[in-house]
Chain A
């Protein structure tokens, strides 16, 4: 069984989102997603400063088997990306909820957060 931490929000596309104290949110992919992808070899992330709408493709995660799009869970502007994934893309497999965070985003509308799935609702989609 894959892990679904209770303190995070989720999308049906298997991204997780954590609300930070400074009004930003951190985004990554779930344990279920990394297991389905298999060995991750590359994570293609956007430039800091770029803006996305909810549902936009913000990047790609590439495994030995396939390349999969990453979808932005909320509208906003990228304020940081995890450059550590360049050298260690396998962190996505090892620490999907910690070391393998992907982007930090400044929400355009903080109310968007409440629209996302909670852990129970996400678990039911698996």
Chain B
């Protein structure tokens, strides 16, 4: 912990709104404003505005950009159409995850990538180290961009008050570039990490405060709340989305995590392909499962998963679902165990796992 904590362009905005600010992935980030459950419910019923400017951005451009990304990523990049985006994993040779990313195709030879905050520097170094003979450049644009997520059933209505972009024409995993609340050159993408409808907006860092204030002002009468990282985590877990360092990591491959749909073994060679092919055909020793508990106690990260008296795994993420009104979680368990008989011991109380299929909330 020698590096000083970084602040997003919206730090003062958070403080003014009464946020509780905590260290996260090297950043001082708002964990909550009015309360995690209230913010969570606002996103499901109305809308929420998140500052996710800690996320990293990179631009890949050059004649070989598509081929280069197909070499790095598990999902197929060359078939993304300009104006569309795709979720993908970037793997190590052993199939472990370097990161999970969203790749936006700006034009034939230019891509824009959203990176996890905690992995941004590692990802950019990894991509640069694999350029080889590809005619491509990897540009670090982390500092240039702020990022807002406007999520919830009323997100489109609120955003329409701040932009002339034809939002209805943007389908899921598509984007347009245009002006939002006076800020030009914003990337407006119908993507998100909540499981609710909504947009992610990449905008020039200098414009971030103005745009965020405008969206809050326009959205407030419709029930929009500023939302911190606490509810971001409970929303993404309810939606069944993986979080790097939890459901996927350098030790947990996309196949183990149930993300096989992002791994295109037939697209040609890519980093990690052999290992992932083997995992697909032979199975893996452990896999990620999701569960609920018929209890009020939350099984937190690291809690052992029991089958009888034997430890057969551990909890990866655990929280309270405000929508289901019960604890939910994910765990890495031995693939050979019978999922019907798993339990956790929370402070002396043995609680059976109710195996669930994510998303918990549709």
Contact = CB atoms under 8 A, between A and B. Distances in A.
A37 to B, nearest CB: 11
A42 B296 contact: yes
Interface in A55-99: 60, 62, 64-67, 86, 89, 93
Contact of A39 (B37, B296, B347): B37
Nearest to B40: A64
Interface residues of B, number: 15
B234 A64 contact: yes
A41 interface: yes
B358 to A, nearest CB: 19
Interface string B32-63: 10011110000000000000000000000000
Nearest to A64: B36
A5 interface: no
Q: How large is the interface on A (under 10, 10 to 19, 20 to 34, 35 or more residues)?
A: 10 to 19
A38 B297 contact: no
Contacts of A42: 296-298
Contacts of B234: 64
B35 A39 contact: yes
A38 B294 CA distance: 22
Interface string A79-121: 0000000100100010000000000000000000000000000
B82 interface: no
B320 interface: yes
A39 B297 contact: no
Nearest to B38: A39
A47 B234 CA distance: 32
B153 interface: no
A62 B31 CA distance: 17
Given A39-B37, A89-B296, A64 B319 contact: yes
A65 B296 contact: no
A39 B36 CA distance: 7
Nearest to B349: A44
Interface string B6-41: 000000000000000000000000011001111000
B36 A65 contact: yes
Nearest to B320: A41
B327 to A, nearest CB: 8
A66 to B, nearest CB: 8
Nearest to A41: B320
A60 B35 contact: no
Interface of B: 31-32, 35-38, 230, 234, 296-298, 300, 319-320, 347
7 A-B pairs closest in CB distance: A42-B296, A39-B37, A64-B36, A41-B320, A64-B320, A39-B35, A39-B36
10 contacts: A38-B32, A39-B38, A39-B320, A41-B296, A42-B298, A60-B347, A62-B298, A64-B320, A66-B300, A89-B296
